[in-house]
Amino acid sequence: MKFSMIFEAQMADPSPGRERQVLHDCVEQAVLAEEMGFDRIWAVEHHALTQYAHMSASEVFLAWVAARTSRIRIGHGVVTMPFGYQHPVRVAERAAMLDVLSGGRVDVGAGRGATRQEMSMYGVRPEDTYPQLEEALRIFSNAWREERFEWHGSIDIGPGAVLPRPVQAPHPPLFMACSKHDTLRLAAELGIGALVLGFAGADDVREMREIYDEAIATRDGDRFVSTEANDHFSALCPTIVLDDAEAAYRIGTRGQRFFAESIAHWYGNGPAPTGDDEGEDHVAAMERDREALVARLHEARVPVRPADTGQFNAEHAYGTADTAIAYVEQLRQIGVDEVMCLVQMGTVPQDACLETIRQWGGKVIPHFRALEKGTAEKGTAEKGTAEKGTAEKGTAA
């Protein structure tokens, strides 16, 4: 099982000075993540979503982190793929350049950039987002694999070459943001990894894992975007871990409430997040928000799904390292390939982010590394015993 972190560059009190500080704080967290044994960092791409995400040029952020690190993988989680945001060949060139300069550490996730705010900024039509996302994936997976490339679909490209060529063969691994069951099935059919929201808790992650696996088992490969499938399943894990469990829970749930309010604002036309009073009961506030959302959905005769209300669930890895270990163990039993830690939420102070990274690196990750090592050693020993028995049986015969 792999461990990663995802960065949004959220802030409750945006100003030019605060933006600069938060972005540098994110770099500091990413560098520490490598030191503490994390396998990967992810950076989102969002545009004009004040407070929620100021990570508008993730390729620059990731290049800066790559230059400060040597081992940790560098992931776009995700690039907005519809053509209005950026030309797919430009995405392929940037990712290949970063793959070369980082020594082959790049992962590329695809997303729609689906808020009305973002689409209006770039002139993207909602009905184009899914078809263009899939076409973009096909364009740059082909562009990376072929020395000379051309494409004739909804857009005409080339002939030409994407330079430089990426280090990884046949190309950097591909992923897709999956917030709905349909997108999970689509990711499986396209043969790319799934980046799933885990706000609704372990039971919902289990259901999503099952849906993804079922789609993998029944696909025939006709829709693969590349020559090789990537069936990696990564689940979000909101977390704050401190020696003081009560403080971790308070800081974590406050941060998650801000995150939930931001999502409700930009994706559901709710009120702007407030960066609420620190003394409030944030869990009770999220429950009230959840009930209000459910009531609105029922009134509109819209089915209520975990994806709609999951961000109001506070049962996550908030507490001591033992709390995090217990939650991650649930994810391990489900078969999650990667635990994607969400630490940098809008109201969480930098010292709590850094201490959380240290706690995961010092206690949580080593716990699961030891489990994996023990399992591997047991398997090797059992194989050796079986081979010895077979040899002895052959000698006796």
pLDDT tens sequence across 15-56: 999 999 999 999 999 999 999 999 999 999 999 999 999 999
What are residue 362's phi and psi, to 5 degrees?
A: -90, -25
Flag the least confident range among 282-296, 304-318, 343-357: 282-296
Summarize pLDDT for 132-154 with one digit per residue, the tens: 999 999 999 999 999 999 999 99
Say if CB 49 and CB 115 are below 8 A apart.
yes
Q: Average pLDDT, stretch 98-108?
A: 98
- Give the right CATH number for 2-388 from 3.40.1390.10, 3.10.450.50, 3.20.20.30, 3.90.1170.10: 3.20.20.30
If DSSP codes are grouped into helix, strand and coil, which group holds residue 163? Answer: coil
- Indicate the DSSP class of residue 159: E
What are residue 81's phi and psi, to 5 degrees?
A: -95, -30
141: nearest Cα among 122, 158, 162: 162
Confidence of residue 165 (pLDDT cuts 50, 70, 90): very high
Q: Map out the domains of the chain as residue ranges.
A: 2-388
For 386, the enclosing helix (H) or strand (E) is: helix 365-396
Burial, 6: exposed, middle or buried (Cβ in 10 Å; 0-12, 13-18, 19+)? buried
Strands 338-342 and 2-7: parallel
Please indicate, yes or no, whether the overall pTM of this predicted structure exceeds 0.85.
Answer: yes
- Indicate the DSSP class of residue 128: G
